Every structure is written in C-alpha cells, then in structure tokens.
Amino acid sequence: MVPHLVTALTGPINELEQRILDSMPSIERWFRLEWMEHTPLFYTSVDVRNAGFKLAAVSTNLFPGGWNNLTPSMLPLAVQAAMAAIEKICPEARNLLIIPQNQAPSPAYWSNLAQLRDIFHMAGLNVCMGSISPDVNKSTVIALPGGDSLTLEPVVRTRSRLGAKHFDPCTILLNHDLRSGVPGILEDLHEQYLLPPLHAASSVRLKSTHLRCYEEVVKRFGKLIGVDPWLMNPLWETCPHVNVHLEADLQRLRDAVDGMLTKVRKRYKEYGIKEKAFVVIKADHHDSVFSATVVRDAKDLGPVWERLAAAQAAAYDEPATLVLQEGVHTNERVNDAVAEPVVYLMDRYVVGGFYRVQAPAGTAETVTDSAANFVPLAFAESTHLPHPGIAPGASAPNRFYMYGVVGRLAMLAGAYEMESTDPQAEFYE
C-alpha cells in the first residue's frame, strides 16, 4: 500500500523520487565513500515529513525507542546489521549492557527494550539490561504483553568499569537520552565502549548544530543528484540570546519570523505551491521546557512570548537561543489520518520503518512529540527494494527507498554532528 498524498502526485516530490531512483548507484556509492570518512551512528531513528512537494528529516534520535514497532520480517535485517555493527566496534564482544530510560513512559517502551535485547542476542551477544535509576536497586522482572518478560538489573560501578552483578560488558549501549545531564556513573569508562558517546546526550546537543550538519549533507547530496537542496532541507536560522525582559528582543524575533515567512512564500511561489507558509519556533537546547510552537504570522507572537517567559524563568532567567524553522506540512494520509514516516537505522543500514498514524482530528501542522498518540503502521516492504521503471509516487518500495535515503542523510548529519562536537576531537587530528 502506498499511503495517499493529499497534494497532487505530479509535483516536485515526484521529480525528487524519480531523480533519487535514477541516481541509485551514484547515491549508494556516495554513501559508501562518506562512511569511509565518517563513522555511522550506532543506531538511529529519523522522523521524516512528506509535504507532497518537499520532504524533510525533522528529528534525528540518537537513542531510538520504538524498536518494537518493527515487524518480524524486518528483524533479520536488524540482526544482520547489528552483526556488522558489532564486528566493526568490537569483534571480540561477548556481553552487551543496555541502559534504559529511568522512567518508562509506557509499556510499549519495555517492549522496545525487549526487541533490542532480542536483536542483539540473535546477533550473538549476551545482553543485560542495566538500569541507572535509583529506584532499581534489585533485579526486577517486568512482565510484557504476550507472556515475555524483561529483567532490569541495577548497574554496578567499579573504578573504571560499569556492569551488573556477574555481568562485565565490553560495550554499553545507551537507550537513555540523558536529558537531565550525564550522571557521574557513566563518566570515565575508558576501558569499555560507550555508545552513543556522552556528547550525544540530549542535555548537551544543540538543534542548530544538527541542522547545520544536515544542511551541509543535503547541499552536497543535492549537488550529486542535481536537485534543489530546499526540497529536502527546510529553511532555518537561529535567533540567539532572546531575553523576554527586553522589548527589543521581541521585535528582533518578529523580524526574523517575518523574514523567514517571506523567504518561504517566495519559494512556494517559485514552485507554484498553494499551501500556507508557517514557521516552527523551537529552543536550541534539547533540554529546554520551551516546546515547539507554530507561527503563521509574525504579528501573532503572543503565545511564543508567554512560553518563552516560562522557560526563561525555569532556566534561572537565562536568555534562550531559538531556532526558527520553515514548517513542513505532513500531507501523507492513511485513510484520513495524518501519517508520518519514521525510518530505523542500525549502523549504516536502514533496517525498517513505520508510519506514525495520528487521529484525523490532529492538524497537519501538529509537531510530533514522543508522547503523541499514534498507531504504528509498518512499512509494507523493505527500503532496500526500489522498483525502477514504476511511475513516481505510485510505488511503495520506491517511496520507502526515498525515505531510506533521507533517513541516511539525517544519520550522516548526526555523524558529522558527533564529530564536530567531540570533546576529544583534538586528540584525533
């Protein structure tokens, strides 16, 4: 099944799909060469948005949950990719410690962990779930739907190693985004592989750094296949150091929003797009309480300013850096519900994906967050099997291949980001 796109099937997205299919060998070669220079992230999920006339990777998660949404037919790919990933990092690996979130927001999260455990076990590792939550002070069994269960062990820290009782891992995999900062228990583990690295923590990542890397990646990719990078990269800019106590800063933000709306409308006109432009305003810091806000008119910044005041108060009155981003409509629909594709990667390989299908009541401009109420709809086919020769927009495998390419662009941007923010980078050069 190809989810329906609300917009006409003759727009720039189909040209993009066609160009991507036609360039498949060059694209794959380009990625191969990139992986010679840049280390792929260990595992990643990427939220993609398809506006019908443009595509964008809107979120790159370095601590992906939701692995339980992969179907049984996707598992062998994930296992094979996990084998490749392990072999590269530590061929001698026996034991893997997975560190889950401290607070599990939902039973689905435990199923996600169980799926990760199974993938790495089938790839040939002994897997232990080691919780760093202060609430887990003894071995704790969690029952899962379907009769399976998951055991959380409290971690045990020695001077230089982290493990669990009778379990000494060579690799530690974080499924905990460290939103509240890096706990000391994870520091100075120089004898073990810790993945992702600590500078991937949500408490230190900046959205602007990722966007800058994504922009760079997409510019080079656009040049490779001869398309306008705007078709995959929404316009964005930062509005630094905004202080809600200064009237001048409100005006500065208003001017920035107005400038961006003007640029977006100009692009829309250029491409004959009839949609209404909008801007999304986010905090540059992942750990800010300021949540993403949609703005359609620069005159209408009241709600933004109110939320910002609350966020600034929560951050000890520290002014905030904001990211303004061209809003990307979600025009893909399953029946009448908004469907947002999510692509899963293990190492350099796209291993599967699914649609987050939202209730039809939600507007197309809803900014997805992890708590959004959604139903997963697994991609019906692999992202590895494009069918050249089929009319653009009409083939699920071709659309999934395109999503896989965008997912890989975002993951590559994440790899650039990790390099650019690596505190130990000077030692490598």
Residue among 50 and 398 whose Cβ is closer to a second copy: 398
Phi-psi region of 188 (alpha: psi -120 to 50; beta: other; left: phi over 0): left
Q: How far is the CB of 243 from a second copy (least distance, A)?
A: 49
CB of 23 to a second copy, least distance (A): 10
Kindly state the smallest distance separating residue 53's Cβ from a second copy, in Å.
27
Contacts to a second copy from residues 331-360, by CB under 8 A: 349
CA triple 65-71-74, angle to 5 deg: 95
- Kindly state the smallest distance separating residue 200's Cβ from a second copy, in Å: 24
C-beta of 141 vs 361, nearer to a second copy: 141
Q: Helix axis angle, 396-421 relative to 12-22, nearest 10°?
A: 80
Peptide bond into 376 cis (omega under 30): no
Binding mask 209-228 for a second copy (x = CB under 8 A): --------------------
Q: Is 77 in the site for a second copy (CB under 8 A)?
A: yes
Evaluate whether 61 touches 45 at the Cβ level (below 8 Å).
yes
**Position 27 contacts a second copy (CB under 8 A):** yes
User: Per-residue contact track with a second copy, 248 to 277, x per CB under 8 A?
Assistant: ------------------------------
**Residue 75 near a second copy by CB under 8 A:** yes
Q: Which residues in the 116-175 window bind a second copy by CB under 8 A?
A: 121-126
Backbone angles phi, psi at 320, to 5 degrees: -110, 145
- What 3-state class would DSSP assign to 60? strand
Listed in sequence order, the DSSP H helices in 53-174 are 75-89, 107-122
The helix/strand/coil state of 152 is strand
Using CB under 8 A, pick the residue from 10, 39, 73, 106 that binds a second copy.
73
Q: How many Å apart are CA 227 and CA 14, to the nearest integer?
A: 12
Nearer to a second copy, 30 or 268 (CB): 30
Q: Could you write out the DSSP letters of every residue in 384-404? A: T---TTSPTTS-HHHHHHHHH
Distances (CA, A) of 101 to 90, 145, 174, 175, 364: 24, 19, 9, 6, 30
Q: Which is nearer to a second copy, 28 or 297 (CB)?
A: 28
Toward a second copy, which CB reaches closer, 118 or 228? 118
CA-CA-CA-CA torsion sign (71, 49, 401, 6): positive
User: Judged by CB, which is closer to a second copy: 7, or 395?
Assistant: 395
For the window 384-403, what string marks contact with a second copy as x by the rule CB under 8 A?
xxx-----------------
Structure tokens at 189: 């583990």
Number of helices (H) and strands (E) in the chain: give both, helices first: 9, 18
* 83 near a second copy (CB under 8 A): yes
The token pair at 120 is: 């790495």
Cβ closer to a second copy: 89 or 250?
A: 89
Q: Is 84 in the site for a second copy (CB under 8 A)?
A: yes
Q: Lay out the site mask for a second copy across 182-201 (x = CB under 8 A, - = otherwise).
A: --------------------
Q: Kindly state whether residue 35 participates in binding a second copy, applying the rule CB under 8 A.
A: yes
Cα 195 from Cα 172, distance rounded (Å): 6
The residue ranges that bind a second copy (CB under 8 A) are 24-29, 31-33, 35-36, 72-73, 75-77, 79-81, 83-84, 86-87, 91-94, 121-126, 349, 382-386
